[in-house]
Amino acid sequence: MSRVLPLCVVFILLWGSVQAAAGQPEQAARDYLEGIWLTNKRPDASSCLAEGTPNTQIEFDFRKSGGRILVFEPPDLFSAIAIPEISVENDIITVRRQRRDGSYADDVRLRRLSPDQFEILSASGGKPGDAYRCDDASTQVDDAIPSAMLQKLTPDITGSQGFIEVDPAVSDADLCQGNAPAGRRSKPRWLQFELLGPAHYWIFGEGFRSEHRLIFDYVRAVRQVDDHTLRLEMQEHLETSGGWDSPGSGGETYTLTIVDQDSRIFVPELSATFVRCSADQPGSIGMHRW
């Protein structure tokens, strides 16, 4: 016996099909961009991480964040940029960049030339440079970890997230606003985590004189201990004349445990607790240029 679907059900099914079809080009563009690209130079090495070049590298992540670019300007400047939206028209991918305060900067337009190359177009349609694929996104470091746990340490916001060490004589609110009283240290110790990648994974610490330098030390793996605790398998990052992660650039291995305490995190190996400031407070801002 045949059945006739109500007209409203037909419209719902058709609308769902239209929405799915409309989302396919954008998803294909995300899959295309995911990974790391070298600007204005074809990679010499098999990996951008081993590439000893001053050229800027651009990483795109969509799998673990809502959309983010990590710009690496060798030897040691990283800038995270939130990209909550992309759109596609023919071979042009338009990337929308969101500032930390929620406003938007000028869109960036990319023209796909091949599976491994795109042009970076200016607003006027010029051609300031090309980018070449040199690494796919890594799936080895922390893909097994829930994204929500990773984003508590590396939120997908422009300017990244810094964690300031607690000072018993200063309230967390004052620390986050930079209102430490006279006589207290003007530059408290702080940490920054890069756990979204998708190629560079590291920790940077300022003001530490511990057993390990914490100067862009590599995060080699992330393990979930429980709902509030992550264990990071670390390796010292040694200064070499090669690329970021070239042979000889890795030193001793060690472990850091990160215990989430809502507005704070505790790192037992450093015997230190750090404040998690909100994104609109000065104390939350990590290293960045943009």
Q: What pLDDT score was predicted for residue 17?
A: 37
The CATH code of the domain that includes 113 is 2.40.128.640
Structural domain includes residue 17: no
Q: How many domains does the chain have?
A: 2
Range of 203's domain? Answer: 147-284
* Burial label, 57 (beta-carbon count in 10 A; 0-12, 13-18, 19+): buried
Please check whether residues 174 and 262 belong to one and the same domain.
yes
Q: What pLDDT score was predicted for residue 211?
A: 67
Indicate the pairing of strand 92-98 with strand 108-114.
antiparallel
DSSP string, 183-224: TS-SS--EEEEE-S-SS--EEEEES--SSS--EEEEEEEEEE
Please check whether residues 35 and 158 belong to one and the same domain.
no
Q: How far apart are CA 222 and CA 212, in angstroms?
A: 18
Please check whether residues 211 and 246 belong to one and the same domain.
yes
Please check whether residues 71 and 171 belong to one and the same domain.
no
Please check whether residues 35 and 110 belong to one and the same domain.
yes
Please check whether residues 188 and 237 belong to one and the same domain.
yes
Mean pLDDT, consecutive 10-residue segments, the chain of 290 residues? 43 37 81 94 82 90 93 91 95 94 92 95 71 87 93 92 92 88 68 94 86 86 97 91 82 96 96 94 78
Please check whether residues 45 and 152 belong to one and the same domain.
no
Of 108, 126, 128, residue with least CA distance to 40: 128
- Read off the pTM: 0.86
Q: What pLDDT score was predicted for residue 75?
A: 86
Structural domain includes residue 238: yes
